[in-house]
Structure 1
Amino acid sequence: MYSGKVRDLYVPDDTAADAAASRLLVVASDRVSAFDHVLEPGIPGKGAVLTQLSLWWFDRLAGGDGGRGIPNHLTGDEPPAAVADRAMVVAALDMQPIECVVRGYLTGSGWAEYQQSGTVCGIPIVAGLTNGDRLPEPIFTPAYKAPLGEHDENITFERTVELVGVENAETLRALSLEVYGRAAAAAEERGLILADTKFEFGLDADGVMTLADEVLTPDSSRYWDAAAWRTGETPAERMASFDKQIVRDWLSAHWDGAGEPPTLPGEVVERASARYRELLVTLGA
């Protein structure tokens, strides 16, 4: 049905050509993307890690962590055996065209903007922070989801309202901040910092805003080692990453953004694969 940067979507065999499927099979591949490009080669075993982490977080956020249940798109059906370790059967939703980004720490593009203007995605931030510092409070910085091959666009909350309406925009913001807060607390208990993350939501058949896609994986989030963050003397030491930042860092150093990105070297692939697996073990997923 659809092949994205990392995931492939399938509909049941018995779905009529002119009918909308009520269920979808989402298969996570080993492909890796950065800066809106799919890179070569993939990361072995990555799809299985992403799926296991998403399922673990969906369960916790549905009430497994003792908090209120956040609706998600899982149907409870078992995926086909051939892809069981890297696939989920989900309900089809009316997906919102918003990437719901929550930032709890100053890093990445947020740090670059802060140095220039004292803001992150246009939001004023207290002066005197350094790269990797914790923000006074988590901030919601939405982005418009671009089609495959195009760049996502950071947008204001006011623009989000224009795209999805006031009620939906406020719901997206509230849910995103709640999920981030619960996940950050769980990560902290396990010696991790959830620096930032992004969520996607859709409306179900009853109009309920529902958590979808992947959730709190190394592809959608920045995880750091909390002990290293407290004691590290350099930004690189403080922000020791459990996600695909290894890939981003290498690409930033070896590609100017023009044309197609270079092939990832084996050492970077191996290091990224090891960090993905280490995060899975550290969280206990």
Structure 2
Amino acid sequence: MSGFVVKPEPLQVPGLVHLHTGKVRELYQNEAGDLVMVASDRISAYDWVLPTEIPDKGKVLTQLSLWWFDQLRDLIPNHVLSTELPAGAPASWQGRTLVCKSLRMVPVECVARGYLTGSGLVEYNESRTVCGLALPEGLTDGAELPAPIFTPATKAAVGDHDENVSYEEVARQVGADVAAQLRQATLAVYNRARVIARDRGIILADTKFEFGLEGESLVLADEVLTPDSSRFWPADSWQPGRAQPSFDKQFVRDWLTSAESGWDRHGEQPPPALPQQIVDATRAKYVEAYERLTGASWS
């Protein structure tokens, strides 16, 4: 069992139709048919959306995505139409709302990996492959790969795991032409972003993208290159052979699996509320990632 500890009741706004509640975002449609994405401060871990929010998290995700879209606009178009609040929307939506194109979304999580960790490390330890791609012997947790690789996954419902799949399976599902476009775009965006991040003292270990189609053209959608969709590591403390410190919800995961939380992640009970010091430390990591990458002060 997993999902929301307490599923929120979406806000009703005149002129907007609520379409979906995700782990972090609420999705609406306006009268013109455009999508309105609102990033909440919710946080998830171990397939649960937790009962405690992280202040400003949704704003950080939104503003960092906008910054990255600007860095990438010469590589691939994105789905953002406007950052103006829809008429009648509450002031609390300011800074966390995007009005976006309505696209035909490709049902694939497009993951690029430049370093070995997470589910890729698990598969590598079993078979020396990641998503069926053979890798050399001798790699350890956090090791840099010989070259970045495209390791797609199927999108899962809230509370379920995304499932890694082979490139051939993606081609079977969406067609060879679209699969080739997805792989090319994913690796091009990752390669651009990893250089930008490294210049700012951050290793982009891996990241996932979502794409949609506008006619026959691929468009970058959803969030992009945030601490929720990427593994960012401080370059000055990178050391292969161990788990790396990261700019994400590491404090949350560590506390949930500690004796202090009293929670059994393999049991049926939902996770408890987070203590204030974990909330504060997690918020600080999200803000630090934003500031180090953009060079701008969050305040």
**1:96–1:201 contact (8 Å) kept in structure 2:** yes
- For residues 233 and 199 of structure 1, the distance between their equivalents in structure 2, rounded to whole angstroms, comes to 25
2:212 to 184, 199, 202: 202
Q: Which moved more, 1:30-39 or 1:126-135?
A: 30-39
Aligned residues: CA RMSD: 1.8
Q: Which amino acid aligns with 2:192?
A: R
Query: Partner of 1:85: helix, strand, or coil?
Result: coil
Structure 1's 123 and 265: CA in aligned 2 closer, same or farther, altered over 3 A?
farther
- For residues 255 and 133 of structure 2, the distance between their equivalents in structure 1, rounded to whole angstroms, comes to 29
Q: Which amino acid aligns with 1:10?
A: Y
1:3 to 5, 8, 21: 21
Structure 1's 77 and 243: CA in aligned 2 closer, same or farther, altered over 3 A?
closer
- For residues 79 and 275 of structure 2, the distance between their equivalents in structure 1, rounded to whole angstroms, comes to 36
Q: Which moved more, 1:40-49 or 1:252-261?
A: 252-261
Unaligned runs of 5+ in 2: 1-18
Structure 1's 161 and 90: CA in aligned 2 closer, same or farther, altered over 3 A?
same
Query: Partner of 2:62: helix, strand, or coil?
Result: helix
Offset at residue 199 of structure 1 (A): 0.2
1:128 to 124, 138, 141: 138
- For residues 160 and 241 of structure 1, the distance between their equivalents in structure 2, rounded to whole angstroms, comes to 30
Corresponding residue of 1:55: 66
Q: Which amino acid aligns with 2:26?
A: D
Query: Partner of 2:205: helix, strand, or coil?
Result: strand
**1:11–1:24 contact (8 Å) kept in structure 2:** yes
Offset at residue 39 of structure 1 (A): 1.5
Corresponding residue of 1:282: 292
1:69 to 69, 75, 93: 75
Corresponding residue of 2:234: 225
Unaligned runs of 5+ in 1: 16-20, 63-67
**1:104–1:194 contact (8 Å) kept in structure 2:** yes
Corresponding residue of 1:211: 220
2:182 to 163, 172, 178: 172
- For residues 260 and 201 of structure 1, the distance between their equivalents in structure 2, rounded to whole angstroms, comes to 35
Offset at residue 252 of structure 1 (A): 4.5
Query: Partner of 1:75: helix, strand, or coil?
Result: strand
Q: Which amino acid aligns with 1:225?
A: P
- For residues 77 and 219 of structure 1, the distance between their equivalents in structure 2, rounded to whole angstroms, comes to 20
The structure richer in helix per residue is 1
Residues 99-118 of structure 1: matches in 2 within 5 Å? 99-118=109-128
2:161 to 151, 162, 186: 151
- For residues 200 and 121 of structure 1, the distance between their equivalents in structure 2, rounded to whole angstroms, comes to 18
Does residue 40 of structure 2 align to residue 29 of structure 1? yes
Q: Which moved more, 1:184-193 or 1:141-150?
A: 141-150
Offset at residue 208 of structure 1 (A): 1.1
Q: How many residues align?
A: 268
- For residues 226 and 66 of structure 2, the distance between their equivalents in structure 1, rounded to whole angstroms, comes to 10
- For residues 29 and 116 of structure 1, the distance between their equivalents in structure 2, rounded to whole angstroms, comes to 37
Structure 1's 35 and 161: CA in aligned 2 closer, same or farther, altered over 3 A?
farther
Q: Which amino acid aligns with 1:242?
A: F
**2:77–2:219 contact (8 Å) kept in structure 1:** yes
Does residue 264 of structure 2 align to residue 255 of structure 1? yes
Per the normalisation by structure 1, the TM-score is 0.88
Offset at residue 234 of structure 1 (A): 6.8
- For residues 151 and 58 of structure 2, the distance between their equivalents in structure 1, rounded to whole angstroms, comes to 27
* Deviations 1:184-205 (CA, angstroms, capped at 9, x unpaired): 000000000000000000011x
Question: What percentage of aligned pairs have identical amino acids?
Answer: 54
**2:141–2:241 contact (8 Å) kept in structure 1:** no
**2:110–2:153 contact (8 Å) kept in structure 1:** yes
- For residues 275 and 134 of structure 2, the distance between their equivalents in structure 1, rounded to whole angstroms, comes to 39
